[in-house]
Amino acid sequence: MSEPVLSVKSLVKTFGSVTAVDDVSFDLMPGASLGIVGESGSGKTTTARILAGLERPTSGTVTLDGRPAASRGRRARLRQAGLLQMIFQDPYGSFDPRRTVAQSVEEPLRLHSGGSARDRAARVAELLDQVGLSARAGDSLPRDLSGGQRQRAAIARALGIRPRVLVLDESVAALDVSIQAQILTLLDELRRASGISYVFVSHDLAVVRYITDTAIVMRHGRVVERGETERILRHPRHPYTRLLLDSIPSPGWDPGRVAGDRRALDA
Amino acid sequence: MTSRSGHENALDIAGLGLAVGSGENAVPLLSGVSVRVGRGETVGLVGESGSGKSLTARSALGMLPAGARTEGRVTVAGVDVLSAGRGELRDLRRTRASMIFQDPRASLNPVRRIGDYLTEGLRARGERPRAAGERALDLLEQVGIRDPRAAVRRFPHEFSGGMLQRVVIAGALSTEPELLLADEPTTALDVTTQAEVVALLKDLQRAHGTGMLFVTHDLDLAAAICDRVYVMYAGRIVEESAGAALFGSPAHPYTRALLEASPSVHGDRAVIRAIAGHPRSLADAPAGCAFRDRCPQAAGDCAETVPGLGSHGPSLVACLHPEGAAS
């Protein structure tokens, strides 16, 4: 039995009197893909940000590759970043607007693996090719790329240092359907080829079904259901999971009944 | 309320073409767009970025890009929008057609109270402040805001996104319009909130007989709630079908490709198939059929002419080689 690459135990995060994340635990095995499903205020993004070291938990532990993740100290942060990378909904905010995409993709390579400029250039070319970006796109500024191309660039940059875990926070939510499908199939291929693990944070159950094996459903900071993604979708146990499923439009959909169910659940 | 009979369509867009700039620099945005919304009907307008769906919806209120040149006709509740003067347009927007947008926060003045927002249109129509105030309370009650008396004194930031979208809907319906233009009204909302807002829109629409043009990128949503759906690609309508039929028998290769690219929670877990390339706008679309460079069925003749809409089974489709044709 192999060890989980990422292990989260009893995570709690409070902001003042608000408890955003309330006793969340899960394990992620190498090569596995875990979905975190929830609506706004569920605590799913706060959980993701704790994993990436962007927030410090109030209590609880995050263990990365057998060692506790610490957000203090340059060395510890560097090790953590080498193991776990995060991709956001809008990659535009995470690229330096004055640098070409290739320069941005190269930067983490210089920080983490060093090597000669020629080696790095070769690796950048390889990465861009892997995510389906042309050399011309690599020489462009972020603003000259489409949303889908920018998301590809963000994936290339995150993959450069060969992390074990990729945390994707609503990473395809802002994309057109046809582009979203391109990114989802790309992510699927990358995982099969490299054995990387995903934590995929999303409100979209259909997308989560496609890209994950297991999932947790969060509501008001707590995990209300967990299990294999396919089982959760076919035989939801928690009324909130059922409500989420019923909220997805389909032929014969009755939004009035869904609204009634939601009020009953909130009461 | 005044009855405005005499025209059967809430919205009739016929052969609308739109371009900005002139001469060499002219940029075409829409071409030959025809969209009809009957009284009390819900009609979907579906497409990806750059397809022209929002432009089409906005044209119904005469909100055109600066310096736009138009052809065709846009008629809302009997008013010829493209030739209407400022006063006529203002009257149209004030009384006969309303629009709601994706982000309710962007359509409300953050430093004015909800009550001011809701009574603005009514007072502009000459209603007395007191009567307008009563009507605002009534409207808030209709859209399911608890304690309307307290709500009218609150500011937009005191509401959640879903609640604020209800307030905006109340405002849009305050003048009992014949046409409601809803541009991605639920896209920014949580999925469970989306169901509530859609249920509300449908109820109010039924009660008032309002025609609704529902603009969305979400095929599932359009098919589930619309009587008819138009699919747009690169500034043109490529398919028109009954909402329920969209999934059963998508006729245009683009519609079919969109469905195959969308993961679904229903049925067996299926592979999704990405569409190569990226969505085009009319200006950078190839000659002939705009979808042909991404289309698995494209043949040589697709480059020669822009296909017009023709019947194919229960749908209208702009394709020389629609699905199901002898291949």
Only one residue has tokens 């940029």, namely B27
Measured CA to CA, the distance from residue A49 to residue A51 in angstroms comes to: 5
What are the backbone angles phi and psi of residue A169, rounded to the nearest 5°? -100, 100
Which of B116, B122, B247 lies closest to B176 in space, CA to CA? B122
Measure in Å the smallest separation between the Cα of B217 and chain A Cα atoms.
Answer: 8
Q: Are A247 and A226 within one domain? A: no
Measure in Å the smallest separation between the Cα of A266 and chain B Cα atoms.
Answer: 12
Q: How far is CA A223 from the centre of its chain?
A: 17
Q: Are A34 and A135 within one domain? A: yes
Q: Are A250 and A186 within one domain? A: no
Mean residue pLDDT of chain B comes to 89
Q: Are A245 and A183 within one domain? A: no
CATH number at B9-106+178-317: 3.40.50.300
Measure in Å the smallest separation between the Cα of A150 and chain B Cα atoms.
Answer: 13
B223 CB within 8 Å of a chain A CB: yes
CATH of the domain at A67: 3.40.50.300
Task: Flag if B224 and A209 touch (Cβ within 8 Å).
Answer: no
Residues of chain A positioned with their CB less than 8 A from the CB of B265 = 205-206, 209, 233, 245, 248
Task: Flag if B192 and A247 touch (Cβ within 8 Å).
Answer: yes
- Asked whether B149 and B183 are in contact (CB, 8 A), the reply is no
- Minimal Cβ distance to B263: which of A40, A209, A245: A209
Quick check: is A1 in a domain?
Answer: no
Task: Flag if B220 and A255 touch (Cβ within 8 Å).
Answer: no
B221 CB within 8 Å of a chain A CB: yes
Q: Are A161 and A267 within one domain? A: no
> Which domain covers residue A242, as residue numbers?
236-267
Quick check: is A245 in a domain?
Answer: yes
Chain B residue at shortest CA distance from A253:
B224
Q: Are A142 and A186 within one domain? A: yes
Residues of chain B positioned with their CB less than 8 A from the CB of A246 = 195
Measure in Å the smallest separation between the Cα of A131 and chain B Cα atoms.
Answer: 14
Chain A residue at shortest CA distance from B265:
A206
Q: Are A63 and A189 within one domain? A: yes
Q: Are A129 and A205 within one domain? A: yes
Measured CA to CA, the distance from residue B80 to residue B78 in angstroms comes to: 7
Percent of chain B with pLDDT over 90: 58
Which of B101, B106, B18, B95 lies closest to B56 in space, CA to CA? B18
pLDDT at res. B326: 37
Task: Flag if B224 and A206 touch (Cβ within 8 Å).
Answer: no
Task: Flag if A181 and B195 touch (Cβ within 8 Å).
Answer: no
Q: Are A178 and A251 within one domain? A: no
Q: Are A92 and A144 within one domain? A: yes
- Asked whether B98 and B180 are in contact (CB, 8 A), the reply is yes
Measured CA to CA, the distance from residue A59 to residue A138 in angstroms comes to: 42
Measured CA to CA, the distance from residue A259 to residue A221 in angstroms comes to: 22
Residue ranges of E strands in chain A: 6-15, 18-28, 33-37, 59-64, 67-68, 84-87, 165-169, 197-202, 214-219, 222-228
- Asked whether A216 and A26 are in contact (CB, 8 A), the reply is yes
pLDDT at res. B6: 53
Per-residue pLDDT of B129-169, as tens digits, reads 999 999 999 989 888 888 999 999 999 999 988 889 999 99
Task: Flag if B278 and A179 touch (Cβ within 8 Å).
Answer: yes
Binned average pLDDT, 10 residues per bin, chain A of 267 residues: 90 94 96 95 94 93 90 82 90 87 94 87 92 91 89 93 94 88 93 95 94 96 97 96 92 88 86
- Asked whether A155 and A187 are in contact (CB, 8 A), the reply is yes
Q: Are A81 and A181 within one domain? A: yes
Q: List chain B pLDDT tens, one digit each, 327 residues.
A: 334 445 679 999 999 999 998 888 889 999 999 999 999 999 999 998 889 999 999 999 999 998 899 999 999 988 999 999 999 999 899 889 999 998 888 889 999 999 999 998 888 878 899 999 999 999 898 888 889 999 999 999 999 888 899 999 999 888 889 999 999 998 888 888 899 889 989 988 888 899 999 999 998 899 999 999 999 999 999 999 998 888 778 889 999 999 999 998 888 887 898 888 888 889 989 999 999 999 988 988 999 999 999 998 889 999 998 864 433
B207 CB within 8 Å of a chain A CB: no
Chain B residue at shortest CA distance from A39:
B190
Residues of chain B positioned with their CB less than 8 A from the CB of A185 = 272, 274
Q: What is the DSSP letter of B306?
A: P
Exposed (0-12), middle (13-18) or buried (19+): which is A104, by Cβ within 10 Å? Answer: buried
DSSP assignment of B228-275, as one string?
EEEEEETTEEEEEEETTHHHH---SHHHHHHHHHS--SSSS-----PP
CA torsion through residues A114, A118, A119, A121, sign: positive
Quick check: is A157 in a domain?
Answer: yes
Residues of chain B positioned with their CB less than 8 A from the CB of A173 = none
- Asked whether B46 and B222 are in contact (CB, 8 A), the reply is yes
Q: Are A86 and A167 within one domain? A: yes
**Count of domains observed in chain A:** 2
Which of B20, B105, B17, B90 lies closest to B59 in space, CA to CA? B17
Quick check: is A133 in a domain?
Answer: yes
Here the tokens at position B287 are: 């000659």
Residues of chain A positioned with their CB less than 8 A from the CB of B264 = 206, 209
What are the backbone angles phi and psi of residue B214, rounded to the nearest 5°? -105, 105
